[in-house]
A and B are shown apart, each in its own frame.
Chain A
Amino acid sequence: MIEVRDLTKRFGNKVAVDHLSFSVQPGQVTGFLGPNGAGKSTTMRVILGLDHATSGSATIFGKPYAEIASPLRTVGALLEAKSVHPGRSARNHLLFLAQTQGLPARRVDEMLDLVGLRDVAGRRARSYSLGMSQRLGVAAALLGDPQVLLLDEPVNGLDPEGVLWIRNLMKHLASQGKTVLVSSHLMNEMAVTADHLVVIGRGRLLAAAPTAEVVARGSGQSVRVRTPDADRLSALIADAGGSVVPGSNGGPVGDPDDTTPVLTVSGLSAARIGQLAASAAIVLHELTPQLATLEDAFLELTSDSLEFGHRPADVPVQATDGSSR
């Protein structure tokens, strides 16, 4: 298992990871979710000993990565950045890695068969498609049959077949009792892959819980209301303790000409809003509880922590404390 404790990583005066703590358990796929620039890759690089932590610690089975005796037999990693010499063949890339761990050369051929690169194993890596490169990366990660796997944005740029392959692979590895940490900025991908989520924004922990719980936390929070009498209803809702955000004027599906104002109400149930409207004889065109998806939950969690979000350009990134939910 992976344990990250109070981890901070600074590059100059830029804080990439900010007092981050979480743990990753075996036997399940843990999604490591956050917007681009949230610090996912940096955290993974620190766990893998490529970057040095400014403070705090990251351990695997209780040890820093550098202390693990046969690292590739314990931990497999697929990094987002390329790590293959374009002039070297897949076989030689895997061979030199296998040799560092004292693995037999036969293991290289097994991995080539496993990821379906056997026929092109002698070709130089620069001729490989993105999908083939990713398969080579997976082969390198699985070379030592590790108990722990870290995959950084493994489905980025893959075709649907490749995405499905990676997804099934991760689930399969977790079902064998391995510890799988996979980063992504794609919520939908995590929703169908991950059992557990660690959500970060601007280097800080936003949530660490089972996927279903993260989704539930964000759901039922708002109700979409359409009414021609928006001002009166807004006042009533405010009096009843709800909050109203005037929405766009896009019509409901099938009725694009309806320009009735839309309100997004939170803090009150749909039933209560209906009662309020009826008691004041306000006409409603629509009253829809908004069921949050993981995407909504994610956007809500990270809305204040977007590295490149809609904030004034002159506000220093660290100056605002956006992730204190």
Chain B
Amino acid sequence: MSVTAATTEASPVSARQGRRAGFGHLLLSEWTKIRSVRSTTWTLLAFVVVTIGFTALITWVTEANWNGPHAADRNAQAIADPTSIIFGISVYLGQLTLSVLGVLVITTEYSTGVIRASLLAVPKRLPMLAAKIVVAAVLIGVLAEIVAFGSFFVGSAILHPHISVSLSDPGILRATIGAGLYLTAFGLFAMGIGTLIRHSAGAIATAVGVAFVLPIIGALLPDTSFWNHLVGYLPEQAGSMVYLVHETGSHIVLSAWEGFGVLCAWTAVLLGIGGYLLTRRDA
């Protein structure tokens, strides 16, 4: 075929162009990867809909049943900490969609075999993972903050007839920014699980287990200082401190930023181990 004759004469010029690759090039490459698959679009769309949707639903249920039977407890909670109504359920469910994205960003490399192409291009491996983490963190982080503020404004508007809550109230701005930060950190936490486990289903199940099952088990444990501290340092429990204003309950052993720091530490440890294994394992 004529294709062969043209093979490389046609092209060495452009192949020699361009600067020596640096980390910026890897960021660009990972951005191309993440934007060029549909799972990114779908999970992020689901994240926006689920998070803002549940904020609207929960605040609307609270507002609509304000004078209903059995409403007293919930009303008291809503007055004491409006963020628990605005963010409580919606962040809890929204993190699920970001966990899926965080896991898939890394596990689809393995399930599709792209990891081989990726590592041939970046044989030192860690720079590829670092670029992937940065790109995912920025993408998820920006969207999560937009969604957090969107949820706050939707939720506070719906609650407005009975509860007046604004960003200038004590702790509210921190909780709103914190909701976005928590969601971002949890997405990266799931990415760490994906890096360790490498299989989509197993990694998603593990991330869901950490987010949903551990807190349930934690609630069943004896109410002693030891168990409360253990549960208080779990990723989901610790991280949730940052998006709630007036925390209550026996598992509260950390302040907002301490709790967020603990979640970040969990995430860093998982990604660190994942990175170490990435360099050691056969791809």
Q: List 20 A-B contacts (CB under 8 A).
A: A50-B283, A65-B123, A71-B121, A72-B120, A73-B16, A75-B120, A83-B115, A84-B112, A85-B108, A96-B36, A99-B29, A100-B25, A100-B122, A102-B18, A102-B20, A103-B15, A104-B17, A106-B14, A107-B17, A145-B8
A65-121 with Cβ < 8 A to chain B:
65-66, 68-73, 75, 77, 79, 81-89, 92-93, 95-97, 99-104, 106-107, 110-111, 113-116
Q: A83 to B119, alpha carbons, bound, how many Å?
A: 11
Name the 8 nearest CB pairs between A and B, nearest first.
Answer: A145-B15, A92-B36, A99-B29, A102-B18, A100-B121, A96-B32, A66-B123, A102-B21
Closest to A82 in B: B113
CB distance from B113 to the nearest CB of A (A): 4
**B76 contact set on A, CB distance < 8 A:** none
CB distance from B54 to the nearest CB of A (A): 28
CB of B1 closer than 8 Å to a CB of A: yes
CB distance from B135 to the nearest CB of A (A): 11
Q: A226 to B134, alpha carbons, bound, how many Å?
A: 76
Is the pair B14, A83 in contact by a Cβ cutoff of 8 Å? no
Is the pair A144, B15 in contact by a Cβ cutoff of 8 Å? yes
Given contacts A51-B283, A176-B8, 18 further A-B contacts (CB under 8 A): A49-B123, A50-B116, A50-B120, A70-B21, A71-B121, A71-B123, A79-B116, A83-B114, A84-B112, A85-B108, A87-B37, A87-B38, A88-B114, A97-B29, A100-B21, A100-B128, A107-B15, A113-B10
CB of B282 closer than 8 Å to a CB of A: yes
Is the pair B282, A50 in contact by a Cβ cutoff of 8 Å? yes
Q: Mark B263-283, 1 if CB is under 8 A from A, else 0.
A: 000000000000000001011
Contacts A51-B283, A72-B121, A102-B22 given: A85-B7 contact, CB under 8 Å?
no
Give the secondary structure class of B's interface: helix
Is the pair A172, B112 in contact by a Cβ cutoff of 8 Å? no
**A165 contact set on B, CB distance < 8 A:** 1, 3-4
CB of B70 closer than 8 Å to a CB of A: no
Q: Which residues of B contact A (CB under 8 A)?
A: 1, 3-8, 10-12, 14-22, 25-26, 28-30, 32-33, 36-39, 108, 112-124, 128, 280, 282-283
Q: A82 to B120, alpha carbons, bound, how many Å?
A: 13
Is the pair A140, B117 in contact by a Cβ cutoff of 8 Å? yes
CB distance from B7 to the nearest CB of A (A): 6
Q: A71 to B20, alpha carbons, bound, how many Å?
A: 11
Q: A49 to B14, alpha carbons, bound, how many Å?
A: 26
Is the pair A84, B21 in contact by a Cβ cutoff of 8 Å? no
**A70 contact set on B, CB distance < 8 A:** 20-21
Is the pair B3, A164 in contact by a Cβ cutoff of 8 Å? no
**A93 contact set on B, CB distance < 8 A:** 117
CB of A142 closer than 8 Å to a CB of B: yes
CB of A291 closer than 8 Å to a CB of B: no
**A188 contact set on B, CB distance < 8 A:** none
CB distance from A71 to the nearest CB of B (A): 6
Q: A23 to B119, alpha carbons, bound, how many Å?
A: 24
CB distance from B119 to the nearest CB of A (A): 6
